[in-house]
Amino acid sequence: MADKAILYDASKCTACRGCQVMCKQWNENDENIPTVENGVDATNWGSYENPKDLSPSTWLKMRFTEVEENGQVRWLFTRQACMHCTDAACVKVCPNGSLYHNELGFVAYNKDTCTGCGYCIDACPFSIPRSNRNLLTGIAKMDKCTACTSQGFNRIEATSADVEMMTESWRDVLAPACVKTCPPKALQYGDRNTLIAEGKVRVQYLKSQGRSNANLYGENELGGLHVMYVLEDSPDVYGLPVEPKVSAAAVAWKDVIQPVGWAVGGLAIVGLGMNWLVARANINKEGK
Amino acid sequence: MTEVEKYRKPIRVLHWIHAGAFVLLFLTGLILFIPGLGFLAEDSWTRVIHRIGAAIFIIIPLIYLIVNPRSVLRGIKLAFTWNSDDIGWIQALPGYYFRGDESKMPPQGEMNTGQKLWWLIVLVFGLLFTITGLIMWFAKTSAPPGLLQGMVLIHDISFIVAGTMFLVHIYNGVFHPLFNEAWSAITGGKVSAEYAKKHHGKWYAEISKGKD
């Protein structure tokens, strides 16, 4: 099946945060809201951005960035959630394959088999996965956006045959919850190739409107992201890594150290076995 | 047949508790190298065992250090005392290890060069395991991700070096035909005078000096 993707258009987003709410509602990720008597225990930290960070029960949030331009403030919005990379660092470092690419190209995970090691959390170039961790025992489970393909919460599970039979409006249902709810259609879901083409058209339009740094983020980054952004400015203005990479430590560990470890351990066992045969024979001979 | 004491009881107890903890750590850590065995680590429980093993691995030597600091200092000094006899030992090792040719072996002290090498690895990598492990354990949510990835890398390199030498250590202690009294030395504490003379000539001369 052709890879699917989500396209987020920052130039259309109004930061209503409907996607944040819908994400929580569909995936049943309730947040514990701290309260005081007759109210919510909250402090103003200088931004509309809320909550402050992703968490095991917040898989998607909008990031608000204020940039000064010609004495004016520009208020930029970015979506902060799993980018579903093709070269996914989390999938690479996961020791038992709990993280994997599903048939749509999204990075899904099996929470039952998650060991809680947290390697994915340290490896992610976008700093997305989160876990609740008992610091003493180390017991933990990772959580992140699955593009609404988690077992039991799969909005996209219908087979292609089902899709053929569906009317146009029903086909629209087969989209992640955030996409479905977006009022200005800043979020779209569909075939990745189609969305790349649409994103490029939009970037050309923004350039013609004077946004000379407009770009499509995610077409080629990390082998191609399955969440792509139409940005009006360079990615770093939005707080996104300009050249996201799988860290050298992750590559060295999985592609060099572990194979070398197997070779060294294997050779040692073979060598000791040979020594046992040779030394025993030689020493018995001498004894006689 | 006369016997001499090779390892005192506190040392033997320390050895076996530490060895037990290392086996726990070795097996629960090895799971992360074998994706097919990854199901054993589900729900974090082998990682809990790894932490219990780690606590024993760290605390038991510390208790020994507090109870008998002089013995520890003497041991550490021994690990870092190398001379020309050690080089001669390494040169004569292949012939000795495979053919049992003892003619070129320089006389050895209480620890021969091989034992000293293993003891040095235990000290150095034990410390590396402890430092990197404690950071991954208690600074998991506060340390920068790059540092934590580096700790995993060092922990794994230590595992490959120390784990491989651990296999050699078990083989020498249990299977190698020349070291047939190593097992009784670390279990009952004693070796025959003949074995001591043959394998630890310098040390045997030292301990038998006063007796004649």
* B171 has pLDDT over 90: yes
Which domain does A201 fall in, by range?
A: 4-30+45-238
Q: Can you name the CATH fold of B3-207?
A: Fumarate Reductase Cytochrome B subunit (1.20.950)
- Looking up tokens 């790349």 gives A196
Q: Do B51 and A137 touch (CB under 8 A)?
A: yes
Do A209 and A252 fall within a single domain? no
pLDDT digits (tens, 9 = 90+) for A223-261: 999 999 999 999 999 999 999 999 999 999 999 999 999
Do A218 and A252 fall within a single domain? no
Do A51 and A116 fall within a single domain? yes
Residue type, A98: S
Do A132 and A174 fall within a single domain? yes
Q: What is the mean pLDDT of residues A102-125?
A: 94
b/e B28-64 (16+ beta carbons within 10 angstroms → b)? bbbbbbeeeebeebbebebbbebbebbebbeebbeeb
Domain assignment present for residue A38? The answer is no
Do A119 and A203 fall within a single domain? yes
Token pair for residue B60? 């038991």
B206 versus A189: the higher-pLDDT residue is A189
Cβ atoms of B179 and B187 within 8 Å: the answer is: no
pLDDT of residue A220: 96
Domain assignment present for residue A243? The answer is no
Which range is least confidently modeled, A109-123, A144-158, B164-178?
A144-158
pLDDT digits (tens, 9 = 90+) for A120-154: 999 999 999 999 999 999 999 999 999 998 887 88
Q: What is the mean pLDDT of residues B190-197?
A: 87
Q: Residues of chain A with pLDDT > 90: what percent?
A: 77
Enclosing H/E stretch for B128: helix B113-138
pLDDT band at A164 (very low <50, low <70, confident <90, very high): low
Contacts of residue A230, defined as CB under 8 A and 6 or more positions apart, other chains included, come to A7, A8, A9, A10, A11, A199, A202, A203, A206, A214, A216, A217
Q: Residues of chain B with pLDDT > 70: what percent?
A: 98
pLDDT band at A6 (very low <50, low <70, confident <90, very high): very high
Shortest distance between the Cα of B42 and any Cα of chain A, in A, equals 5
Do A287 and A206 fall within a single domain? no
Do A264 and A187 fall within a single domain? no
Q: Is A85 helix (H, G, I), strand (E, B) or coil?
A: strand
pLDDT band at B107 (very low <50, low <70, confident <90, very high): confident
Cα distance between residue B161 and residue B167, in whole Å: 10
Do A92 and A228 fall within a single domain? yes
pLDDT band at A210 (very low <50, low <70, confident <90, very high): very high
- Looking up tokens 């296999």 gives B167
pLDDT of residue A145: 97
* Residue A174: CATH number of its domain: 3.30.70.20
Q: Is B26 buried (19+), middle (13-18) or exposed (0-12) by CB count in 10 A?
A: middle
Which range is least confidently modeled, A163-172, B19-28, B69-78, B127-136?
A163-172
Q: Which of residues 129-168 of A touch B (CB under 8 A)?
A: 133, 135-140
Do A253 and A124 fall within a single domain? no
* A107 has pLDDT over 90: yes
Residue type, A244: P
Domain assignment present for residue A287? The answer is yes
Domain assignment present for residue A39? The answer is no
Cβ atoms of B129 and B162 within 8 Å: the answer is: yes
- How many domains does chain A divide into? 2
The residue of chain A nearest to residue B32, with distances taken between CA atoms, is A95
Q: Is B100 left (phi over 0), alpha (psi -120 to 50) or beta?
A: left
Please give the mean pLDDT across all residues of chain A.
91
List CB contacts (< 8 A) between B41 and chain A.
Answer: 95-96, 115, 117
Q: What is the mean pLDDT of residues B113-117?
A: 91
B18 CB-side CA count, 13 A: 19
A213 at B interface, C-beta within 8 A: no
Do A234 and A253 fall within a single domain? no
pLDDT of residue A243: 95
Q: What is the mean pLDDT of residues A72-101?
A: 95
Cβ atoms of B133 and B57 within 8 Å: the answer is: no
- Structural domain boundaries in chain B: 3-207
The reported pTM is 0.89
Residue type, B151: M
Q: Is A237 helix (H, G, I), strand (E, B) or coil?
A: helix
Please give the mean pLDDT across all residues of chain B.
91
Domain assignment present for residue A157? The answer is yes
* B117 has pLDDT over 60: yes
pLDDT of residue B1: 60
B198 versus B28: the higher-pLDDT residue is B28
Q: Is B174 left (phi over 0), alpha (psi -120 to 50) or beta?
A: alpha
Cα distance between residue B115 and residue B90, in whole Å: 12
Any idea of the CA torsion for B90, B91, B96, B97, to the nearest 10 degrees? 50
The residue of chain B nearest to residue A280, with distances taken between CA atoms, is B177
pLDDT digits (tens, 9 = 90+) for B54-71: 999 999 999 999 999 999
At A5, give phi and psi (nearest 5°): -160, 165
List CB contacts (< 8 A) between A278 and chain B.
Answer: 98-99
Q: Do A122 and B42 touch (CB under 8 A)?
A: no
A260 versus B209: the higher-pLDDT residue is A260
- Please report the ipTM that was assigned to this predicted complex: 0.86
pLDDT of residue A126: 97
pLDDT of residue A283: 78
Cα distance between residue B73 and residue B67, in whole Å: 12
List CB contacts (< 8 A) between B48 and chain A.
Answer: 137-139
Cα distance between residue B158 and residue B161, in whole Å: 5
- Closest CB to B140: pick one of A135, A269, A275: A135
Do A224 and A287 fall within a single domain? no
Q: Do A95 and B145 touch (CB under 8 A)?
A: no
List CB contacts (< 8 A) between A96 and chain B.
Answer: 32, 35, 37-39, 41-42
pLDDT of residue A280: 86
Contacts of residue B145, defined as CB under 8 A and 6 or more positions apart, other chains included, come to A121, A122, A123, A127
Taking the CA atoms of A257, A258, A261 and A263 in sequence, report the sign of the dihedral they define: negative
**Nearest-5° Cα angle at A274, A270 to A279:** 150
Q: Residues of chain A with pLDDT > 70: what percent?
A: 93
List CB contacts (< 8 A) between B150 and chain A.
Answer: 249
b/e A25-58 (16+ beta carbons within 10 angstroms → b)? ebbebeeeeeeeeeeeeeeeeeeebeeeebbbbb
Do A169 and A196 fall within a single domain? yes
